[in-house]
Amino acid sequence: MHDIIVDSIKYPLSGIKQLFLSGIIILLTAFLLGKSNEFYDLLDMVLENVSLPDELLLIILSLIFVLIFILTFLEAGYSFKIVEKSIHGEVNPPKFNNIISIIRHGLNETVIAIIYFIVPIILLLAALGDIVAEFEFDIPLIPDDIAFLLIILFFITVFISGALITVAIPRMASKGGAIREAFRLKEIFKKIRQIGVKKLIVSYIIVIIGFVAIGGPILEEIISTANLYGFIIAQLVIAPYILMFYARFIALIYNS
């Protein structure tokens, strides 16, 4: 485990060009999603001073929407490519080539994530719906004990789904990217036993939840809130570093 963590820490720094290319993708996505107000402030200023037909404005907004999706799939697809190349023994981050293939893999990975997390999403929406109804109208949709149970089940299913997808994505990568391989649960559980349940759970809790899901975003948020330069540094360096670390880590855990 120590060797895997050390390798994953060093891995993003062995491909500085790829790190910054990933950062540019993440930075553009963050701007378009409005994580920083500068982009949409500039767009509002342009629209206030330039009269555009409604049809053209709709086209511009549609293009922004499509661009967000492309960049998101490109980011997810490059993460998948890191997993795939790492499983097959490559020690340096892969190049950004064959963009169409990267986007396709990113779309597949996104679909897989949605399917694996569909139960936690439903549980969360049900709990939030009850909270909103009680807060807005003082009329709970379901009894409080049921709502509490939904929240508990949400955390349990998130944990299980997250642990499964940690193995499912590398399995798909090891089988040429075939999406059906991510849902062969019998083979996934067999692989979990080979890795070691204790090892997988420890790595999932400490590294993926502790560092990737909690620590990384907190650090990114702290840096982002400093100023515009802090935001750029967080999206250009911190976010892609975490992405590349995570992809390398789950590949090495799978290979172990």
DSSP assignment of the chain: -HHHHHHHHHGGGG-HHHHHHHHHHHHHHHHHTTSSTHHHHHHHHHHHHS---HHHHHHHHHHHHHHHHHHHHHHHHHHHHHHHHHHTT--SPPPS--HHHHHHHHHHHHHHHHHHTHHHHHHHHHHHHHHHHHHHHS--SS-HHHHHHHHHHHHHHHHHHHHHHHHHHHHHHHTTT-GGGGG-HHHHHHHHHHH-HHHHHHHIIIIIIIIIIIIHHHHHHHHHTT-HHHHHHIIIIIHHHHHHHHHHHHHHHHH-
Instruction: Give the total number of structural domains in the chain.
Output: 1
pLDDT(57) > 80: no
pLDDT(80) > 70: yes
pLDDT at 77: 94
Tens digit of each residue's pLDDT (9 = 90 or more) over 103-126: 999 999 999 999 999 999 998 888
pLDDT(14) > 80: yes
Which stretch of 19-33, 42-56, 74-88 has the lowest confidence by average pLDDT?
Answer: 42-56
| Domain, as residue range, for 195 | 2-255
